[in-house]
Structure formats: structure tokens, C-alpha cells
Amino acid sequence: MDMPTPVILLKEGTDSSQGIPQLVSNISACQVIAEAVRTTLGPRGMDKLIVDGRGKATISNDGATILKLLDVVHPAAKTLVDIAKSQDAEGDGEAVRTTLGPRGMDKLIVDGRGKATISNDGATILKLLDVVHPAAKTLVDIAKSQDAEVGDGTTSVTLLAAEFLKQVKPYVEEGLHPQIIIRAFRTATQLAVNKIKEIAVTVKKADKVEQRKLLEKCAMTALSSKLISQQKAFFAKMVVDAVMMLDDLLQLKMIGIKKVQGGALEDSQLVAGVAFKKTFSYAGFEMQPKKYHNPKIALLNVELELKAEKDNAEIRVHTVEDYQAIVDAEWNILYDKSEKIHHSGAKVVLSKLPIGDVATQYFADRVMFCAGRVPEEDLKRTMMACGGSIQTSVNALSADVLGRCQVFEETQIGGERYNFFTGCPKAKTCTFILRGGAEQFMEETERSLHDAIMIVRRAIKNDSVVAGGGAIEMELSKYLRDYSRTIPGKQQLLIGAYAKALEIIPRQLCDNAGFDATNILNKLRARHAQGGTWYGVDINNEDIADNFEAFVWEPAMVRINALTAASEAACLIVSVDETIKNPRSTVDAPPAAGRGRGRGRPH
């Protein structure tokens, strides 16, 4: 007797698609994502101008930034973007393909509000894209994960994931079971990771000169594909100095980046301590000194301002004397607070809340400096650098809770005034002050420095390096192609496809630089077959070169993370053969909350 066909009931309005067409659709959606960042790869990569829904423009060639700005709806593509972001497939790969490498192009992305963003950072571009296909969203997600984990390599991870999917698409269309593909890819990834660990060069941490040289080379490699590539030596030294100032935890939040329009890029500076923009000040501020040596610093979360109590209090008085007593009490409270701060010995007073004109003049008469409405982030960084603690009351101000520094100074930078705290006893923090022209350019400079800082942090924690410029990918491709010839069956074809996909990195570097990719890749294959492990694309001479000798270095962990994330994203997308969209039912929606008296519901 035949068994009855099972029936699965779905909610009315549910959209379902499955089988090979669904799998092919997911792969195609991921290819589109890769195109968004493809041309930003490498030193010759182009920038992207992205405009959001509010009309804000962002210019970037940073893959993470581009991917963040993408509005991805397709689930599979969204996953790919998230993985790239956490490091920082085929449909999304196209969006970032041209951003790869030193000659990569930038993207101009305009969002729904009209804001334009120019970037060649893969994660930035993918963040700004409006991606609808679920599979394409997967690609956006892997870009996010690459950005969060490593800070760089988002364009590479997106392109690799998209290329892996492109290479297996014919096998999927012929009906090859996805689990066979996944098994082969995981085997190839493990072999590739082991090979990277085997050939990576370790720099001894005991040799500080060698370690610093390594860190600067890694920073310059990260900056070579950015808008500020012409100043990469200047900024690489600055980035290494900044990271070396941090404690062993290397907390990213302890590096502040402030942007001041005007001046040249080379006018940018690194402050070994805390610097933040002068806050709004009241009358009397101009009488306060603007420089102190060895001052004590009071860090407060206290309001020192007289306020008209219109909303918060109701007081009934019967005589003029009663009213005068209330006014006098308010003034006495303010003077009492100010006097306690003065007697604590503090010369610099910072508060998260306002410091009004009366308190400002009081401090000026006593040769003290004050600033109210200081951003919480800057107040906390000042505490970390100068010591002390943030107080919510002035009743217990002792030497233990006051911070200290060698020099406090308010200085003019461009059209802005900045407060500097230098020579801090607990200075495990620093501040970049960036100079430049257009706002979008300075934002892209900040994103570029973020990538370089992340790479240097990673290099300090993991001192193994490999050569960039497509060298490591070509060596892995040769190794896996040789390995595939030693095994039988379908695995041979699939690992061969994986090996071919790795060549997308040097190929795209050539395309973005305007080189003959076929000729360069033929030379690279021949040289790697002869044992030239570190030969990659020579962007400057339109040829191939030993990129290790040319100091095109990057942390081995960055390539391992990118390879692992891209492979897992491809496996994830290949493993999905059905998508079910179940729109939220209006019947099941909770009742709307009341909206105030007389406006909740019609009578």
C-alpha cells in the first residue's frame, strides 16, 4: 500500500522556493554583492560614492564601510555581508570587486536620504548597499564579521566567497549534492590554513627594532589601497606609535580620532594623551588661564548652573523676604559646590553636565579652568589617562579622586580650539587629530586609519606574516591544485575549483591596475611552480616580484580569517536549498497601545 504524500501547511501568504533554482538564485545574488567592492581592491583600487536615504554622501574604498551602507534584503547575500563585516558571495562580490588593491577604484554611494559616501572599503560599501536577496545578505554579513574580527580584508573575503560560489555553480546546476561540495571545501580550507601556518615567517618579538619594522610594513600594506596611500609612510609610523602606547589589552576605544577641517594631511598629529574639542563656554571663560603645569583635574558628572524651575518645582511664597530667601538659597548651593571644588586643589574642572556663567566666572577669579558638556567618551578617556574617577557629587573631592597630568593646554588647531592633556601618568591612550579638506575625505581617512590600527593590533598579537599582493593566494592555489591531482573522484574537481577561485585576488589586482591579468597570472603560475613562494603582482612595474623582499607584508591571521570566513559563507549558501518568506500576519499583531487621552480609539 502506498504511503500518503505528506502535506505541510504554511500560513496564507507565505512565499516558498526550493531546489536547484533556489540554490542558483542564492549564488547569483552573492555574485552581485561582490561586484559592489570588486574595483576597490589593491593600491590602484577605485573609490565609491554612497548616498544614503537622508542624502548624506560617503566616499570610501573600504570594503567594510561600503558593505555597511548596503541595504541588503536577500537573506543569503545578507549573511555574506555580515561575515565580511565581522572580518572588517558572488552578487555582492561584484559590488566590491573593483575596490581591491592599491589601484582599486572608489565607489560613490548615495542613500535614500541623498547622503553621499565615497569609499573603497569593502565593508563600508556593503553596509550602504540596499540588498534585497536573502543569499546576498549572507555575503554582506560575512563582510561585517571580517571587519569586526580583523578590521581589514573585507573586499578579499567578499570576492573569495563569491568566486567559490561561481566555481561550483556549474556542479550545482548539474545536480551534484551540496554536501559533497561542502566536504571538499572544508578539506581544502583546512589544507590551505595549515599551509599558511607552515610557510608564514615569524618575527621575533624580543627584537624591538625588527618588530617595529614589521608593524610599519603591515600598516603600509593596509594603507596602500586607501585614499591616503601617498602618505602611507607618514601615517604608518603614526599608527604604530599609537598602538604601542596602549596597554597589553590593546583596546581600540583608547585611541581617539578627531577631525579638524583645513590644512594638509601632513598637518595631522598624534597626541600622547587626550585631546578633545573645546566645549561651549559662558562669559568669563576668556579670563581663565589656558595652560597649566602639573594641574590636578576634577572629573565631574555635576551640573553647576542656575536654572529657572518652571517644570520641576512649585513653590508658594507670601512675602518678598520668602522669595529672596529662595533665590539666596539657590545661589548659596551653587557657590557651596564651586567652593568645595576650589578647596579640593583642582585647577582643571571637567563636567559632563553644563557649567554656567556664574560658576565659570567664579573659577576664573580663582585662576582655574573649567569645561562643561564634555562628551562622556572624552571624559572617560581623560580618566583612563590622568587617573582619578568621575564624581557625581562634590562632597568627597579628595586627592585620590583627582587626575593629574604634566601639561594641560588649550590650543588653536585650524578653526577650532582643542584641550590637550599630555604627560599623563597612566597614559595608555592617545588621540589622532586629522587635518584635511572635504568632510567625506576626512571620514575616509579615519576609516583607513581604523583598518591600519586593526592590522597592527593583530600583528602584535600574532607575529607571523605572509606576503601580500596575491602571493599567498597563488602559492595556495598551486599547492591545492597539486594536491587535487593525488585524489580520485569528485573531490579532485571540487578542490581544483577551490584552487582556481583563489586566483581571483591577483587577477582582480591586475584588472584594477589596468594590467593584462592573463599574462601576469601565467608568469605567476610559472614562478610558483619553480618554487617562488612569495611572488605576487608588482603594481609599480606592471610585472611580478618577490613581495616579501618588497616588504608587502600582512599578518598571516588576516589571510587565515579571510579564507575561513569566505569558505564558510560559501558552504552556508550552498547548503540552503529552500527559502521560506513568512510575512508577519496582521491578524496576529498585538493591539496598538493607547496614544493619550481622547486619542486612543474612535468613539
Amino acid in the structure at residue 79: T
On whether both 344 and 302 belong to a single domain, the answer is yes
Residue 239: count other Cβ atoms within 10 Å of its Cβ: 31
User: In terms of DSSP bridges, do strands 407-413 and 416-422 run parallel, antiparallel, or are they unpaired?
Assistant: antiparallel
On whether both 284 and 420 belong to a single domain, the answer is yes
Residue 568 CA to chain centroid, in angstroms? 21
Which ranges of 485-529 does DSSP label H, i.e. alpha helix? 490-502, 504-513, 517-529
Please state, in angstroms and rounded to a whole number, the distance separating the CA atoms of residues 92 and 72: 9
pLDDT the model gives residue 16:
52
Boundary residue ending a domain (426, 452, 480)? 426
On whether both 232 and 296 belong to a single domain, the answer is no
Please state, in angstroms and rounded to a whole number, the distance separating the CA atoms of residues 72 and 55: 18
Whole-angstrom CA distances from 185 to 191, 482, 499 are 10, 16, 10
**Residue 478 falls within a domain, yes or no?**
yes
- Owning domain of residue 250: 208-269+437-462
Which of the four pLDDT bands, split at 50, 70 and 90, describes residue 187?
Answer: very high
Which of the four pLDDT bands, split at 50, 70 and 90, describes residue 518?
Answer: very high
pLDDT at residue 520 tops 70: yes
Contact present, 497 and 477 (Cβ < 8 Å): no
On whether both 420 and 292 belong to a single domain, the answer is yes
Q: How far apart are the first and last CA of the chain?
A: 62
Sign of the Cα pseudo-torsion (169, 90, 26, 81, in order): positive
On whether both 486 and 560 belong to a single domain, the answer is yes
Please state, in angstroms and rounded to a whole number, the distance separating the CA atoms of residues 512 and 331: 68
Using alpha carbons, select from 561, 588, 595, 591 the residue that is nearest to residue 161.
561
On whether both 444 and 543 belong to a single domain, the answer is no
Read out DSSP for 560-602?
HHHHHHHHHHHHHHHT--EEEE-PPPSSSSPPPPP-STTTSS-
Which of the four pLDDT bands, split at 50, 70 and 90, describes residue 97?
Answer: low
On whether both 484 and 573 belong to a single domain, the answer is yes
Which of the four pLDDT bands, split at 50, 70 and 90, describes residue 175?
Answer: confident
**Residue 3 falls within a domain, yes or no?**
no
The region of weakest confidence among 406-420, 458-472, 572-586 is: 572-586
pLDDT at residue 145 tops 60: yes
Residue 491 has which C-alpha cell? 573531490
pLDDT digits (tens, 9 = 90+) for 521-566: 999 999 999 999 999 999 888 899 998 888 888 888 888 988 998 9
Using alpha carbons, select from 275, 457, 449 the residue that is nearest to residue 377.
275
Amino acid in the structure at residue 129: L
Phi, psi of 371 (to 5 degrees): -145, 125
**Residue 568 falls within a domain, yes or no?**
yes
CATH number of residue 233's parent domain = 3.30.260.10
On whether both 345 and 474 belong to a single domain, the answer is no
pLDDT digits (tens, 9 = 90+) for 302-337: 888 877 655 566 777 788 887 888 778 888 888 999
pLDDT the model gives residue 603:
42
Read out DSSP for 341-354?
HHHTT-SEEEESS-
**Residue 348 falls within a domain, yes or no?**
yes
Please state, in angstroms and rounded to a whole number, the distance separating the CA atoms of residues 62 and 441: 12
CATH number of residue 384's parent domain = 3.50.7.10
On whether both 503 and 475 belong to a single domain, the answer is yes
On whether both 486 and 549 belong to a single domain, the answer is yes
Please state, in angstroms and rounded to a whole number, the distance separating the CA atoms of residues 247 and 427: 9
Whole-angstrom CA distances from 252 to 20, 55, 167, 357, 445 are 44, 30, 38, 36, 17
pLDDT digits (tens, 9 = 90+) for 407-425: 999 988 888 899 999 888 7
CATH number of residue 533's parent domain = 1.10.560.10
**Residue 59 falls within a domain, yes or no?**
no
On whether both 227 and 292 belong to a single domain, the answer is no
Please state, in angstroms and rounded to a whole number, the distance separating the CA atoms of residues 81 and 34: 9
Which of the four pLDDT bands, split at 50, 70 and 90, describes residue 592?
Answer: very low
pLDDT the model gives residue 150:
59
Share of the chain above pLDDT 90, in %: 27
Q: What angle do CA 11, 14, 19 make, to 5 degrees?
A: 120
Which of the four pLDDT bands, split at 50, 70 and 90, describes residue 476?
Answer: very high
DSSP, collapsed to helix, strand or coil, labels residue 267 as helix
The region of weakest confidence among 162-166, 251-255, 346-350, 419-423 is: 251-255
pLDDT the model gives residue 587:
44
Using alpha carbons, select from 519, 513, 505 the residue that is nearest to residue 539.
513
Please state, in angstroms and rounded to a whole number, the distance separating the CA atoms of residues 25 and 174: 15
**Residue 122 falls within a domain, yes or no?**
no
**Residue 564 falls within a domain, yes or no?**
yes
pTM surpassing 0.95? no
How many residues does the structure list for the chain? Answer: 603
Q: Which residue has the cell 520668602?
A: 322
Residue 407 has which C-alpha cell? 601639561
Using alpha carbons, select from 432, 420, 429 the residue that is nearest to residue 295.
420
What residues does 108 pair with on adjacent strands?
59
pLDDT at residue 144 tops 80: no
Catalytic residues: 121, 154-155, 451
On whether both 191 and 246 belong to a single domain, the answer is no
**Residue 67 falls within a domain, yes or no?**
no
Q: How many domains, in total, are found in the chain?
A: 3
pLDDT at residue 441 tops 90: no
Whole-angstrom CA distances from 311 to 307, 314, 315 are 10, 8, 11
DSSP, collapsed to helix, strand or coil, labels residue 132 as coil
